[in-house]
């Protein structure tokens, strides 16, 4: 034991603050959330909380008419915003990797949306989407694309494209940065050899660059999915989950039940279900895209 402590004790001592932090601020809240989900616990109720077992879960899954719509909204939010971010980030990374003038400046400006606070970005885009004085309506009217103003954040059809566009604008710099790091590490000799052999730009991208970037795309996509699932500030700042529950996702539904209605039992059940659902999505993602990365 003395030898073991002498060999590894200092390393464990250095890890101790991190372990204590994870236990105190990660594991304990997680276990407490699962425990509270088994109780009827409302801060507005006069009596003590009572054990109800799985009643909160059954009520959400079978009686709550809004739950499954909100679950669909969550999938749309996560998968839609992640796909749109990649759609913007891949060409952006290729452009910023090429030898363009003032490349360093453009790379720096590209990071502005990512490092800006989410709430500030949400307020700015809310002004842009304003149905009466917003810049989007103004310029689309000037270009004769619309005849009358659109209430972007209150329209049943246009509200989700508006939200996904904002989320993509906020999140694509992170993916672009990761792809840029991958492009920097690629062998230029292989790409130049393909060019000498007659491969055009599209063939070099699809047959050489993209396969070599698969590990980075895989990890970045996984991080983006988890981050999009747990982040709801953008939706809360733009629509508050409305109108009604039209743009609510599970985190906003959790926030509403826990900190608006003060129903901590049902809010904890929503949080637990949300955790399980994102775990299922991650497992499916790993099974589908985690193979043949080498």
Q: Which residues of the chain have pLDDT under 70?
A: 292-294
pLDDT score, position 155: 82
Count how many residues are written for the chain. Answer: 294
Report CA-CA distances (Å) from 111 to 177, 178, 238, 290: 8, 12, 22, 28
Structural domain that includes position 105: 37-289
Give the per-residue pLDDT at 162.
Answer: 92
* Count of the separate structural domains present in the chain: 2
Give me the pLDDT at residue 232, please. 81
Q: Is residue 294 part of a domain?
A: no
pLDDT at 22: 92
Residues 14 and 74 in one domain: no
What pLDDT, on a 0 to 100 scale, did the predictor assign at position 173? 93
CA distance 96 to 74: 32
Residue 158: inside a domain: yes
Q: Is there a single domain that holds both residue 189 and residue 92?
A: yes
- Which pair of tokens denotes residue 276? 């399980």
Does one domain contain both 4 and 77? no
User: What does the pLDDT read at residue 293?
Assistant: 67
Containing 39, the helix (H) or strand (E) segment is strand 39-40
């Amino acid at each position: 034991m003395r030898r073991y402590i002498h060999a590894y004790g200092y390393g464990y001592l250095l890890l101790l603050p991190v372990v204590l932090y994870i236990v105190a601020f990660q594991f304990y809240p997680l276990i407490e959330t699962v425990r509270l989900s088994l109780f009827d616990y409302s801060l507005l109720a006069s009596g003590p909380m009572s054990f109800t077992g799985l009643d909160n879960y059954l009520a959400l899954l079978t009686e709550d008419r809004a739950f499954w719509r909100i679950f669909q909204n969550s999938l749309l939010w996560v998968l839609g915003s992640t796909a749109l971010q990649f759609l913007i980030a891949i060409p952006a990374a290729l452009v910023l990797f090429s030898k363009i003038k003032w490349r360093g400046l453009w790379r720096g400006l590209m990071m502005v949306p990512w490092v800006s606070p989410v709430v500030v970005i949400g307020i700015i885009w809310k002004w842009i989407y304003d149905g009466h004085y917003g810049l989007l309506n103004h310029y689309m009217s000037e270009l004769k694309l619309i005849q009358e103003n659109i209430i972007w954040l209150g329209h049943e059809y246009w509200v989700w494209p508006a939200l996904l566009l904002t989320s993509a604008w906020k999140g694509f710099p992170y993916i672009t940065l990761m792809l840029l790091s991958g492009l920097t590490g690629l062998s230029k000799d292989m790409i130049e050899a393909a060019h000498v052999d007659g491969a055009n730009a599209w063939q070099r991208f699809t047959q050489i660059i993209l396969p070599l970037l698969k590990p980075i795309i895989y990890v970045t996509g996984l991080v983006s999915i988890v981050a999009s699932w747990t982040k709801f500030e953008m939706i809360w700042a733009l629509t508050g989950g409305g109108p009604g529950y039209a743009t609510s996702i599970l985190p906003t539904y959790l926030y509403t039940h826990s900190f608006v209605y003060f129903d901590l039992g049902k809010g904890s059940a929503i949080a637990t279900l949300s955790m399980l659902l994102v775990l299922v999505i991650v497992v499916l993602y790993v099974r589908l895209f985690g193979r043949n990365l080498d």
